[in-house]
Amino acid sequence: MSHLRGTVTADPPIQRVHLTAAAHAVIGRECGRSQDGNETGGILLGHLHDGVAEVRVAGRPGPAAVRQPAFFLRDLGHAQQLAHDAFTHDGSIWVGEWHTHLAAAPVPSERDLATYARLLADPDLGFETIVAIIAVANPEWDRPAAYAWTCFGNQAVAVPLILTTDDQCPTSTEDRR
């Protein structure tokens, strides 16, 4: 599936990702768990408008998540409850996922691309695009770097990731579980 990272044949529907400080803080804290040698991650919730993905909530993996050195699978029940709570709070919807890469580059792996392709193809989910944030770090995970991708059609395109203040998104919430 490396062809998905090839030449862009259309403008991506999402051209930049805005990440609230609260969502950034969750990702930053959670990345520290990867010091144990296993990937971690969670879902991304927010709003899509005018070519922007506004990520208001970044989820944690949940208690039943599978964390391995080259694989992460979120706890679906935990993610569904978080999505329900965020939608009830401010209308946020599931816009994508984030996870760490331990040794790999901050680009979607073949497994990541296959996952995004399955999500995009599922008519019950109704995705037109998936936002992916991949975090990589120095050995201590105290200053992870995050990179955003938008996945649509048969493409995955790197897009700018912009940290916003929570007052730019006044109804922002944090996953406190």
Extract the runs of DSSP E, i.e. beta strands, from the chain: 16-20, 41-49, 52-58, 66-68, 71-73, 93-100, 130-136, 145-152, 155-159, 161-164
Domain ranges of the chain: 2-168
Q: What is the pLDDT of residues 92-129, one digit of tens each?
A: 999 999 999 998 789 999 999 999 999 999 999 889 99
Q: What is the mean pLDDT of each run of 10 residues along the chain (177 residues)?
A: 46 92 94 92 96 97 95 94 96 96 89 93 92 87 89 92 71 37
In the prediction, which pLDDT does 167 show?
A: 52
Q: What confidence score (pLDDT) does residue 103 get?
A: 82
Q: Please give the structure tokens belonging to residue 75.
A: 């706890």
pLDDT of residue 153: 86
CA angle 64, 85, 136 (to 5 degrees): 55
- Quote the pLDDT of residue 166: 60
pLDDT for res 142? 78
| Amino acid 66: pLDDT | 96
**In this structure, what token pair is assigned to residue 138?**
């120095």
Name every residue whose Cβ is closer than 8 Å to that of residue 57 and which is 6 or more positions away in sequence. Answer: 22, 23, 26, 44, 45, 46, 82, 86, 92, 172, 173, 174, 175
So what's the pLDDT on residue 168?
54
Q: Which residues of 38-63 are buried (b: 16+ CB within 10 A; e: fewer)?
A: bbbbbbbbbbbeeebbbbbbbbbbbe
Q: Could you tell me the end-to-end alpha-carbon distance of the chain, in angstroms, rounded to an integer? A: 35
CATH architecture of the domain covering 2-168: 3-Layer(aba) Sandwich (3.40)
